[in-house]
Amino acid sequence: MRTLLNIIWLVLCGFWMALGYLVAGVICCILIVTIPFGLASFRIANYALWPFGRTVVDRRDAGAASCLGNVIWFVFAGLWLAIGHIFTGIALCVTIIGIPLGVANFKMIPVSLMPLGKEIVEIP
C-alpha cells in the first residue's frame, strides 16, 4: 500500500514539492555560509519525493546551533515551503482519493518549518 501511495504522491505533488526544496537547497549552497541549510533542504527533498513509510524524528545531539539555524531557515525559506504544503494539502483533500496525500502533506509542514535537528527514518 505504501508503494502505491508513494507513486500517486510522486505524480500528483511529490515531484513539485521536491523541486521546491531542491531550488531552496541550490540557492543555499551557492552562498557558502548557508551550506548546512542546503543539505537539510536536500534531505527534505528526498523525503518529499517518497514520504510514505518514513517519518521525521528529533536528533538527540541537536543543540543551540540547530535552534538558531531553524529561526534563520524559517524566515528565508521555511515559511514559503510550508505555505506550499498547505495549499497542496488543501487541493489534495478536495477528492476522497487525495485525502491521505493531503494529510501526508500537512505532516510535512513541521519539518519544512524547522529542518535542522531532525532526522528522516524508515518506519518498520
Provide mean pLDDT across the span 21-49.
89
pLDDT, tens only, 64-119: 888 888 898 898 888 988 998 899 899 989 989 889 889 989 999 999 899 888 88
- 29 conformational bin, left if phi > 0, alpha if psi -120 to 50, beta if neither: alpha
Task: Indicate the domain borders of the chain.
Answer: 2-122
Residue 102, SS3 per DSSP: helix
